[in-house]
Amino acid sequence: MSITVRPAHDSDAAELAAVAAATFPLACPPSADAADIEAAIAATLSPQRFAGYLADPERVVLIATDAGRIIGYTMLIRGIGDDPDIAASVPQRPAVELSKMYVLATHHGGGASARLMQSGIAWAKESGAAAVWLGANRKNERAQRFYRKHGFELTGARRFPLGDTYEDDVVMVRPI
């Protein structure tokens, strides 16, 4: 496996959306309603939405490729938004959100996630951020272990809308 990480281009939007549709359900708890998951994918992970993300100067989408195919991606966004739970959980400013980080299940354990994390933190540092923060589903212990391994610490909680329901997330922060 020869993994490379690079910023995504407009021409990657359709393949990114396909990878996102395959990977987003992996991070959802088993109790999540399948219809809510599908609705979230349609609303936020379509090729059109990725085209918008790629055009947003406050975001970067980094992709991991193997043999020229996208096997994973991460999206980082400058800021903390307007959620008071996030504001209370992320004391360092300026901050960058690690909004999405997914790798195809067939490539778990192959180093793509670590490479994406390293590249994302480097981008945040180059952007002048004092910290990187993220939300992870409270029940997704595998993801939380990975984030702790990369220097993130639990600092709070938030509610995350998934369709007509809410999921409970932990908020984790890594100072840079």
Residues 171, 135: contact at Cβ < 8 Å? yes
Q: 166 pLDDT exceeds 90? A: no
pLDDT band at 164 (very low <50, low <70, confident <90, very high): confident
Closest CA to 90 of 130, 138, 154, 133: 133
Using alpha carbons only, give the angle 74, 80, 85 rounded to the nearest 5 degrees: 115
**pTM for this model (two decimals):** 0.94
**Which class in CATH covers the domain with range 3-175?**
alpha beta
pLDDT of 1:
63
Residues 21, 43: contact at Cβ < 8 Å? no
Average confidence (pLDDT) over 88-114: 96
Q: 160 pLDDT exceeds 90? A: no
* Per-residue pLDDT tens over the stretch 69-97: 999 999 999 999 999 999 999 999 999 99
Cα–Cα distance between 139 and 40 in angstroms, integer? Answer: 18
Sheet holding 59-66, edge to edge: 3-7, 59-66, 69-78, 95-103, 131-137, 165-175, 153-162
